[in-house]
C-alpha cells in the first residue's frame, strides 16, 4: 500500500475511534431543533465561468460553434455594446454553469452567502475560473432577489498532486452571493420546536430538559418531530426572547446508530459504539469474515473477530485495498443481513 492510502486509512480509524468513544454527548436545544417557518430559501441561476485554461465547453466540436455557451457569451458582450458573430467565437475558456444556494429565511438585503457552481456542458475542469455576475432567483419565473460572482474554490483530492488535484466540474464561491432584497414578512413566532432529526426519545429528553429549566408543564411532546411549548410562561420579555433562552438549554443525547459513507472518497464516520455480529460477505474478490481469527489474509480475505467494532471492519477492508464503492456495498450487505444494527447513509 502506498503512503497516501495508508495515511487515509489511519485517519479513518482515528475518526471512528473518537466517534465510538463518546456514546452520549450534551447538545443545546438550538442544535437539535429549528423553529416553525425556519425554512431556507433556495435560489438558482444560470451563469458563465470565465478565465479557464482551455478546459471550458468544447464549442469547436459543433458546426459554426453555435452552442448555448457561445450564445450566452454573445448576449453578455452585446450588453456592453460589443457585437461579435457567434461563428467567430471558440469559447474554450468559458463554461456554462448552474448556480445554486440555500439562504437563511432571516437574512436581509446586503447579507452574503456561499454559492455552489456546477458545469452544465462538457467542460473538463472549472479550476482557475471566475463566476461572472449571475442573477439568482427563487424559481424559474420569479424575479431575481440576489446575485453571485467571484473566484471558484474546487474540492481537492489529497491523493492527487499538481494539476490533477483540482480537476472538477463543480466548485464553490465562498460568500460569493449577495442578497439584494429583503425576504417576505415572516409569520409571527410559534411556541413550538421542530426536531432536525425526528426521534421520539430525543423529543422526550428535550421536553424534560426544558421542564427542568423553566418549570413542569412548559414543554410537551406532540410527536417524534415536534415539542409544543406553553407560551403563557414567556413572561414580560416576549416570546422571541423566551425562545432564545430555551435554545440555550442543554440536553443529554445519545449518539445515533448511524454509519455515514462518502461515495466520492470513501470517508467513513460511525456514531456510537457500533459493533458487527458474525457474518460472511463476499464482494468483487474481497471476502469479509466476521468471527475469524482477525487480520487481513491473502487474496482479499479479511478476518475480523466476532462482535468487532465498525472501525476494525473498515480498517481491515482498507488494508485489503477496498475502494469507496466496496465499503458501501459491504456495509450495506451487513446491514441487510442484520449483522450491523445501524442506519447506513451514503452521501
Q: Which residue has the higher pLDDT, 331 or 89?
A: 331
Q: Are the CB atoms for 131 and 99 separated by under 8 Å?
A: yes
> What is the tens place of the pLDDT at every residue in 169-201?
899 999 999 999 998 887 788 899 999 989 999
> What is the tens place of the pLDDT at every residue in 212-263?
999 999 999 999 999 999 999 888 888 999 999 999 999 998 877 778 887 7
Q: Are the CB atoms for 258 and 343 separated by under 8 Å?
A: yes
Q: Which residue has the higher pLDDT, 169 or 147?
A: 147
Q: Grid coordinates in use for 216?
A: 413542569
**What confidence score (pLDDT) does residue 173 get?**
97
**Domain chopping of the chain, boundaries:** 3-23+256-346, 26-37+187-254, 43-179
Residue 112 confidence (pLDDT) above 70: yes
Question: Pairing state of beta strands 95-103 and 275-276?
Answer: unpaired
pTM tops 0.75: no
Q: Are the CB atoms for 35 and 265 separated by under 8 Å?
A: no
Q: In what order do the strands lie in the sheet with 258-261?
A: 268-271, 258-261, 343-346
Give me the DSSP letters along 298-323: STTEEEE-TTEEHHHHHHHHHHTT--
Amino acid at each position: 500500500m502506498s503512503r497516501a492510502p495508508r495515511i487515509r486509512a489511519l485517519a479513518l480509524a482515528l475518526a471512528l475511534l473518537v466517534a465510538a468513544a463518546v456514546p452520549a454527548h450534551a447538545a443545546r436545544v438550538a442544535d437539535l431543533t429549528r423553529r416553525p417557518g425556519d425554512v431556507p430559501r433556495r435560489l438558482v441561476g444560470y451563469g458563465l465561468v470565465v478565465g479557464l485554461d482551455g478546459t471550458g465547453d468544447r464549442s469547436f466540436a459543433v458546426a459554426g460553434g453555435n452552442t448555448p455557451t457561445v450564445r450566452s457569451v454573445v448576449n453578455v458582450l452585446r450588453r456592453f455594446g460589443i457585437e461579435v458573430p457567434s461563428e467567430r467565437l471558440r469559447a474554450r475558456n468559458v463554461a456554462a454553469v448552474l448556480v445554486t444556494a440555500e439562504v437563511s429565511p432571516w437574512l436581509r438585503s446586503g447579507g452574503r452567502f456561499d454559492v455552489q457552481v456546477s458545469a452544465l456542458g462538457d467542460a473538463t475542469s472549472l479550476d482557475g475560473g471566475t463566476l461572472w455576475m449571475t442573477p439568482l432567483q427563487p424559481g424559474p419565473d420569479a424575479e431575481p432577489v440576489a446575485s453571485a460572482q467571484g473566484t471558484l474554490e474546487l474540492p481537492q483530492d489529497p491523493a492527487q498532486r499538481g494539476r490533477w488535484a483540482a480537476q472538477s466540474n463543480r466548485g464553490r464561491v465562498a460568500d460569493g452571493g449577495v442578497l439584494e432584497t429583503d425576504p417576505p414578512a415572516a409569520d409571527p413566532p410559534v411556541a413550538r420546536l421542530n426536531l432536525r432529526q425526528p426521534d421520539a426519545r430525543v423529543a422526550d429528553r428535550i421536553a424534560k430538559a426544558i421542564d427542568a429549566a423553566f418549570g413542569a408543564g412548559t414543554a410537551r411532546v406532540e410527536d417524534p418531530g415536534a415539542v409544543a411549548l406553553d407560551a403563557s410562561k414567556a413572561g414580560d420579555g416576549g416570546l422571541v426572547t423566551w425562545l432564545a433562552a430555551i435554545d440555550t438549554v442543554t440536553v443529554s443525547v445519545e449518539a445515533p446508530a448511524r454509519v455515514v459513507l462518502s461515495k466520492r472518497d470513501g470517508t467513513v464516520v460511525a456514531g456510537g459504539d457500533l459493533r458487527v455480529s458474525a457474518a460472511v460477505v463476499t464482494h468483487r474478490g474481497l471476502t469479509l469474515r466476521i468471527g475469524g481469527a482477525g487480520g487481513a489474509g491473502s487474496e482479499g480475505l479479511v478476518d475480523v473477530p466476532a462482535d468487532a467494532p465498525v472501525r476494525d471492519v473498515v480498517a481491515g477492508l482498507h488494508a485489503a485495498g477496498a475502494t469507496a464503492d466496496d465499503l458501501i456495498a459491504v456495509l450495506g450487505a451487513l446491514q441487510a443481513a442484520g449483522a450491523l444494527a445501524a442506519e447506513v447513509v451514503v452521501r
